[in-house]
Amino acid sequence: MLVDFHCHTNASDGTLSAAALLAAMRARGVGICSITDHDSLAAHDERLANREAATSPRVISGVEINTTYRENEVHVLGYGFSLAADSALRAMIAANREARRERVDRMVAQLLAAGYDLGLDDVLREAGEGASLGRPHVAMALVRKGLARDVATAFRTLLSRERPGYVPSSHVRPDAAVAAIARAGGVAVLAHPGRLRDEALIDELVEMGIAGLEVFYRAHAPGQIAHFRALAKRYGLVMTAGSDFHDVRWNVEGVGMEVDPADVRPFLDLVS
């Protein structure tokens, strides 16, 4: 069964429009997916405005909320929630977007002070109109200006901890994100648990109301998949699968994850 519950458009730090991303899903044969932009629902609004809600593939409402907890970046995926214009979830997303913009402003200022000829306009050119800004946009601007060889190099040498362009995130806490998703009628899932700096946080996240783990993640090794499958069983969490697709240049395997239908059926039952 081909699914993909974690992917991004140019409404955050991906490079494809919502229509182009869904076309890629159709071409790959993905039957069910979710667009999960960072702190943005613009792709879903665009999809609904263009009356694409009923077309193939089936699309579940989704978002990836960046949260901060005990010096960890914890990404919370929300699924199956209402897209109502006046929801508390949208208010939280708006607050996170403002924090993102402030963080990018500080990154640019620090890089400029360190001798890198980079301006905010350079970063904004890498983002879609009204996009949720983030470090990837700064990295892409550095590459375009010849200040880094590629995005990975920009992150490693300029935008990671103890590097001149690094600014710690100051997003909402994961418990607030989980609560906002639940109030909107959705299900909260921990994204890419293999990327957590401190896996012990999973205990606390379960207490906060996390309902699932992204067990099947493109960058998870087989041993990690087995480990997180066991954790999901121990805590009674549903399992999800996602490619974390952003760009064909970075995600050469494209969209879609092949999974056993039985592994994701409990998740689909929750969001149906």
- SS3 track for 115-158: CCCCCHHHHHCCCCCCCCCCHHHHHHHHHHCCCCCCHHHHHHHH
Checking if the pLDDT of 37 tops 70, the result is: yes
How far, in whole angstroms, is CA 213 from its chain's centroid? Answer: 14
Q: Which of 31-40, 211-220, 245-254 has the lowest mean pLDDT?
A: 245-254
Query: Where do the structural domains in the chain lie, given as residue ranges?
Result: 2-93+170-271
- Report the C-alpha gap between 255 and 32 in whole angstroms: 12
Q: What is the mean pLDDT of residues 213-220?
A: 97
User: Which one of 65-69, 85-89, 125-129, 191-195 scores highest in mean pLDDT?
Assistant: 191-195
Higher pLDDT, 55 or 182: 182
Q: State the DSSP code for 217.
A: E
**Residue 221's pLDDT band (boundaries 50, 70, 90)?**
very high
Checking if the pLDDT of 131 tops 90, the result is: no
| pLDDT at res. 184 | 94
Cis peptide before 266 (omega within 30 of 0): no
| pLDDT at res. 52 | 61
| pLDDT at res. 50 | 76
Average pLDDT of the residues of the chain: 92
Going by C-alpha positions, the residue among 12, 3, 1 that lies closest to residue 247 is 12
| pLDDT at res. 248 | 83
* Per-residue b or e along 37-58, where b marks 16 or more CB atoms closer than 10 Å to that residue's CB: bbbbbbbbebbeeeeeeeeebb
Checking if the pLDDT of 41 tops 90, the result is: yes
Token pair 């395997």 in the structure block, residue: 253
Q: Which two tokens stand for residue 140?
A: 């892409």
- The strand pair at 238-242 and 257-258 is best described as unpaired
Q: What angle do CA 212, 213, 214 make, to 5 degrees?
A: 125
- Report the C-alpha gap between 89 and 173 in whole angstroms: 13
| pLDDT at res. 33 | 97
Checking if the pLDDT of 159 tops 80, the result is: yes
| pLDDT at res. 129 | 72
- Report the C-alpha gap between 192 and 208 in whole angstroms: 17
- Burial class from Cβ neighbours inside 10 Å (0-12, 13-18, 19+) for residue 168 reads exposed
User: Counting every residue, how long is the chain?
Assistant: 272
| pLDDT at res. 53 | 53
Checking if the pLDDT of 54 tops 70, the result is: no
Q: What's the pLDDT tens digit per position in 166-185? A: 998 777 899 999 999 999 99
2-93+170-271 homologous superfamily: Metal-dependent hydrolases (3.20.20.140)
Q: Which of 28-37, 82-91, 111-120 has the lowest mean pLDDT?
A: 82-91
Q: What is the mean pLDDT of residues 56-67?
A: 93
| pLDDT at res. 252 | 81
| pLDDT at res. 55 | 65
What is the percent of the chain with per-residue pLDDT over 70, rounded to a whole number?
Answer: 98
What are the two backbone dihedrals, phi and then psi, of residue 83, each rounded to the nearest 5 degrees?
-95, 25
Q: What is the mean pLDDT of residues 136-146?
A: 93
Q: What is the mean pLDDT of residues 202-223?
A: 96
